[in-house]
Amino acid sequence: MDLTIQWTEVPGSLYYDLYVMTDTGDLLVETRLTDSNWNGQPTDPLLPGKEYFVRVDAYFADSRSVSSEHVSFKVTDQD
């Protein structure tokens, strides 16, 4: 199953680091992007009803960075 994550572009940012993790902190996705969206497959399958978290860090030319909150989400059963 592909997962699509989108966020609002941060003006002036050069790139983003995206993290998707389980409720226990196990990292499922860690990737660097220049666009404000990601579509792909986590390292482990996402289970319906289980809580997951996503965070995005934006990086700027002057070495500053800003991080989003950890945003929770659940996968619905597709049957």
Average pLDDT in the 16-38 region?
Answer: 96
Average pLDDT in the 37-61 region?
Answer: 94
Task: Report d(CA 22, CA 65) in Å as an integer.
Answer: 24
Amino acid 79: pLDDT: 55
Domain 3-74 has CATH 1.10.260: no
Amino acid identity for residue 24 in this structure = T
**Sequence ranges of the domains in the chain:** 3-74
Amino acid identity for residue 59 in this structure = Y
pLDDT-derived band at 78 (thresholds 50, 70, 90) equals: low
Amino acid 77: pLDDT: 74
